[in-house]
Amino acid sequence: MFVAACAGTPVAAPSASVAKGYILAEVEVTNPEPYKEYLAVVTPMVARFGGAYIVRGGKTTTPEGAAPKGRMVVIEFPSFEAAEAFYNAPAYQAVIAKRTANANSRLIIAEGTNP
């Protein structure tokens, strides 16, 4: 079981046949020092929802289309519902302003392929 952060209610981990969920983000950090405060709060919150960072910055190349306007972030969750639960959790909603005040970003929640 994993525990949903701030909800305090244990949530059964999805079975192996459930598609994983992902949060994909394009983040252009505009104020690096205050943005670090957001990361310090969000990183353990992601883990409490069963999430794991798959991509967090690093080198990119853009063979097609427009290049991202910052760093790319991909967070994997046990299910699409877990990714949505993380994003919609009151605790995460309370810290979104720390991100939006210090970065330009675009977030997408996507369902992975079925195993």
pTM of the model: 0.83
Domain annotation covers residue 94:
yes
- CATH code: domain of residue 91: 3.30.70.100
Q: For 45-104, write each residue's pLDDT tens digit.
A: 999 999 999 999 989 999 999 999 999 999 999 999 999 999 999 999 999 999 999 999
Question: How many Cα atoms sit within 13 Å of 94 on the Cβ side?
Answer: 7
Domain annotation covers residue 46:
yes
Domain annotation covers residue 5:
no
**Any idea what DSSP says for residue 21?**
E
Domain annotation covers residue 10:
no
The whole-angstrom separation of Cα 9 and Cα 16 is: 21
Contacts for 4 with CB less than 8 Å, ≥ 6 apart: 10, 11, 48, 49, 85, 89
Q: Are 50 and 78 in contact (CB under 8 A)?
A: yes
| Residue 114: band (very low, low, confident or very high) from pLDDT cuts 50, 70, 90 | confident
Query: Is residue 32 scored above 80 in pLDDT?
Result: yes
Contacts for 39 with CB less than 8 Å, ≥ 6 apart: none
Number of separate domains in the chain: 1
Domain annotation covers residue 80:
yes
Averaged pLDDT for residues 3-26? 68
Q: Which domain holds residue 81?
A: 18-59+68-111
Domain annotation covers residue 8:
no
